[in-house]
Structure 1
């Protein structure tokens, strides 16, 4: 059987579903949440904890929250409430968070070394356009982490060939309505207007699965 694994999680469908799926194949799964100080994180983290509790998998450990503030790096940026949140009409490139996977893997890699966990999983999907999501990037990060830490950490991307609709279909028995994909939450609910809400609702339609998400406004 595979050994313990860490999973970089947000409150979104993909990484939350991946954590539960890996809990069926690994004896211990450590969900790692990196808090950057972004405007949706408290709502997202609350949803994530509810989802994982509802999933009830013995292998799942409590969420470990790692602090990694980015205000000094990002400056004035919409993710920090400085500017308009990208809406349903914007392309995927509009929601890019600079260096996100680089920052994630650097900090999470040290956590894994300190806890003796030799594999870490992420949930990027097919068609992810960002430069820190290429096979070359992940191979280079494995090498850099090994050089820096003297520790071999395997980076896993089990959903790299899947679309969001495909993830929803394979995870449709999970309480996906408890996951969270919004960049501009309204009183603990999805806003229904941002780029991520639109992407989420569209993926449920494409999957042919009922979207039971609570939106503050009907998604477009």
Structure 2
């Protein structure tokens, strides 16, 4: 099944890309520049496409991203430190981001004769992001089937939607994902900060999976305090 993967350059989507490639189904990658402060993640997505020898579409959504204001990922708002599942992380929501990206990915898939669009939304995303929840992905798939009815038959693949980040690390390790060649940090500094929610979640996932974390963090030990604080709430 020819599959296009939405790849941000992060741990989840790069792992998914390697899983799809390992199964022999990878056709191409698509990434989105929506003006995110951690735009450097796109370099990691590009490197993944080169590594696996597939085409890579980078879609310029900066004008759209500028209109989706109010997020710490696109506006001059501090990215909060702490556990990913804290209420404070809701400031990182970019409204309707996944719906817009998926719509474009479906169009690219249909235009190129692909059979599926794969996205790495996972169980840990559900608390913060409504457009990562099963109810959304299932409804979106039905909508896109109607939108392409009679023209193309493209399905939505969400193999991680009921799985944890730790399970993604385990699966990524199984297929030899080069985790050091992924970028998660929302702050977009020289190193991954180790303090923002996505860094804490990343560090915790490696720990729970029992897989060595090759990431070079600015603050490699903060995650333990963040998890303890979250569990104490």
Give me the TM-score of the superposition, normalised by structure 2.
0.81
- Corresponding residue for 1:204? 206
- Corresponding residue for 1:181? 184
- Render the CA deviation track for 1:40-88: whole Å, top value 9, x for unaligned: 11x11112233454xx44xx41321112233442234321241111212
Alignment RMSD, CA only? 2.1
- Render the CA deviation track for 1:118-151: whole Å, top value 9, x for unaligned: 2101111124323223333223222322333333
Give the counterpart of 2:59 among 42, 61, 66: 66
CA distance in 1, matches of 2:82, 2:135: 31
- Corresponding residue for 2:99? 102
Q: Is there any run of 5+ residues in structure 2 with no aligned partner, and where?
A: 223-233
The alignment of Structure 1 onto Structure 2 pairs a total of residues equal to 212
- 1:82 maps to 2:76: yes
Task: Report the CA distance between 1:27 and its aligned residue.
Answer: 4.4
CA distance in 2, matches of 1:161, 1:71: 28
Query: Higher helix fraction: Structure 1 or Structure 2?
Result: 2
- 1:136 maps to 2:139: no
Q: Is there any run of 5+ residues in structure 1 with no aligned partner, and where?
A: none
1:142 and 1:152 in contact (8 A); partners too: no
- 1:48 maps to 2:45: yes
SS in 2 for 1:166: helix
1:5 and 1:30 in contact (8 A); partners too: yes
CA distance in 2, matches of 1:155, 1:177: 28
